[in-house]
Amino acid sequence: MDSIHKTEAGTSPGPEGGLWGWLNRRTGLDDLLRSALDEPIPGGARFAYIFGSGLLFIFLSQVITGVFLALYYVPSADHAHTTVAYITKAVTAGSFLRSLHAYGASAMVIVLFLHLSQTYIYGSYKGRRELLWLSGCVLFGLVLAMAFTGYLLPWDQRAYFATAVGTNAVSEVPWVGESLKRLMRGGTEMGTLTITRFFVAHVFLIPAAIFALVASHIFLFRKAGAAGPVNEDPYHPKQKAELFYPRQVLMDLSLTTLLIVGLGLLCFFVPVQLGPPANPADAQYVPRPEWYYLPIFQWLKYWHGSGAIIGVLVIPTLLVLAIMAIPFLDRSVERRPWKRPAAMGAYAFVVFMLLGLGFRSEYLDRHDSGIAQQLGKQNAEEEEYARKPFEPELSSASLVAANVTLADPLAAKGKNIFEGQSCNACHGDGGVGTAAAPALVGIRAKFSPDQLAELFKHPTAKMNAGGMPPIDLSPDDLKALIAYVESLK
């Protein structure tokens, strides 16, 4: 026993004992922590490098808030909106957590853009970092897909119509567009199957892909090493390196702190609203996507008819392919932005176009009095709905709902007799049947009203044995009872 202990202690890096020491000898946690923190950064820590870990933090926050929201959410067209309203209006801290999740998506897009811009402007994709850049591009796409699929889930007017437009745009893709749209929607129209599909993508498929890609992104980053400042050699860093811990960690934490405080204050003081439930029959509703989709939304407006394919498919595809191919096309080791005018010009052009399209969409909405008025009305409806207290959903098992369908006054009278005479004690409420007596639902197919009247007055021997007494009612009441029993479907 002693000798084994000595051997173990001998192989461990430190003289630590106790639980931490034991855990460390078994897992090598200390080594793992050390290799995570002792990452060398050529040229030293800088605030320019903080965005990656900021993204990781928001992603973690999205995962946690998402899991908690799933405690109450139901992905179906008849319950989705009610359950989100319940989260927002009834559950403690529900509005705050939902806001954190919704604003978190926007924060993710902003920080992702900053991360990508930093990498591009610093030329950090150079020097055997093609796969690192590619995995980042795919991650960008996945984050946008998360935002798109998550947007539908509350199933309010805004969500429904934005997704209707979004999935419609997909059908513009030649040959496979229509099939793709149907695949996304789970049919030709948006409905409860659409929610389930978006939910599965948002909660299982895309997050799984993001986890895998984040892991490979970090692995590839550590494999290639930090690129360092713009005047550093991307292949063989020469500048004096500083470890990730502590200064870079502290800088990264400053962004995390900013995100926590900023998102916390925003969610507390300006919580995300939930509009009235989706009404597909609303022909007036003017759909608008979330702000980060506005440039694409505005861009698609310009392309109609036979040439649409160029704008909807060819140009966006070329743009995406061009962005992905950057590290393959740009092979020079020059990283200083002022020595890369073409690269910087292209960047400025794309950013200018995106901002221009986004603001153009906003400008047009404000200066079209009809649309501005409708958008104002939609906002007012949203605020009005948000002020109303939570109203539970009437379950389909409710008897009141069944009464509404009982339009025939004679059958309605018969229902009172059915219950007053205790028929429901054995045959069940609504004649659904119990262990004591058979169901009466659908009996119309078996017996005519006259046959039923005869059976009620003179039950068969088998009925008698089961406890069915002869019914002694006035002819009018008997007629009403038969009308009710015949109406049971």
Partner 1 sequence: MFQSAGQSENAGREGASFGESRRSFLGVLLGLGSFFVGALLSVPLVRFALFPLLRRTTELKESPVGALSDFSSLTEPVMRTIQIEQVDGWRKAVSEKAVYVTKDSQGQLRVLTSICPHLGCTVPWNKEKSQFACPCHGAIFAADGTRVGGPSLRGMDTLETSIQDGQLLVRFQYFRQLVSDKEVIG
Give the residues lining the site for partner 1 (CB under 8 A).
35-36, 38-40, 64-65, 68, 71-72, 79, 82-83, 85-86, 90-94, 96-97, 219, 222-223, 225, 237, 240-243, 245-246, 249, 253, 260, 390, 392-395, 397-401, 403, 416, 419-422, 424-426, 429, 467, 469
Select 174 or 467, whichever has its Cβ closest to partner 1: 467
User: At closest approach, how far in Å is the CB of 193 from partner 1?
Assistant: 22
Quote the tokens at residue 72: 């109450």
User: At closest approach, how far in Å is the CB of 105 from partner 1?
Assistant: 18
Select 270 or 353, whichever has its Cβ closest to partner 1: 270
How many CA atoms lie within 13 Å of 367's alpha carbon, on the beta-carbon side?
6
User: At closest approach, how far in Å is the CB of 259 from partner 1?
Assistant: 11
Helix axis angle for 369-387 and 157-170, nearest 10°, is 130
User: At closest approach, how far in Å is the CB of 35 from partner 1?
Assistant: 4
How far is 294 from 273, CA to CA, in rounded Å? 19
Select 343 or 480, whichever has its Cβ closest to partner 1: 480
Select 91 or 294, whichever has its Cβ closest to partner 1: 91
How far is 247 from 254, CA to CA, in rounded Å? 11
* H helix runs in 122-228, sequence order: 130-152, 157-170, 177-185, 192-200, 206-224
How far is 426 from 432, CA to CA, in rounded Å? 10
234, 123 contact by CB (below 8 A): yes
User: At closest approach, how far in Å is the CB of 256 from partner 1?
Assistant: 9
User: At closest approach, how far in Å is the CB of 191 from partner 1?
Assistant: 21
Distances (CA, A) of 402 to 54, 123, 410, 422: 54, 68, 15, 18
59, 256 contact by CB (below 8 A): no
127, 234 contact by CB (below 8 A): yes
Select 355 or 436, whichever has its Cβ closest to partner 1: 436
SS3 of 279-309? CCCCCCCCCCCCHHHHHHHHHHHCCCHHHHH
How many CA atoms lie within 13 Å of 331's alpha carbon, on the beta-carbon side?
2
Select 263 or 296, whichever has its Cβ closest to partner 1: 263
How far is 405 from 65, CA to CA, in rounded Å? 42
Per DSSP bridges, beta strands 241-243 and 40-42 are antiparallel
Select 35 or 332, whichever has its Cβ closest to partner 1: 35
Select 438 or 449, whichever has its Cβ closest to partner 1: 438
435, 426 contact by CB (below 8 A): no
144, 109 contact by CB (below 8 A): yes
What does the chain come to in residues? 489
User: At closest approach, how far in Å is the CB of 18 from partner 1?
Assistant: 16
Select 70 or 176, whichever has its Cβ closest to partner 1: 70
Select 252 or 290, whichever has its Cβ closest to partner 1: 252
Select 85 or 142, whichever has its Cβ closest to partner 1: 85
User: At closest approach, how far in Å is the CB of 355 from partner 1?
Assistant: 33
Helix axis angle for 294-301 and 341-367, nearest 10°, is 80
CB within 8 A of 317, min separation 6: which ones? none
How far is 137 from 158, CA to CA, in rounded Å? 29
User: At closest approach, how far in Å is the CB of 266 from partner 1?
Assistant: 14
User: At closest approach, how far in Å is the CB of 97 from partner 1?
Assistant: 5
User: At closest approach, how far in Å is the CB of 154 from partner 1?
Assistant: 14
Helix axis angle for 369-387 and 341-367, nearest 10°, is 80
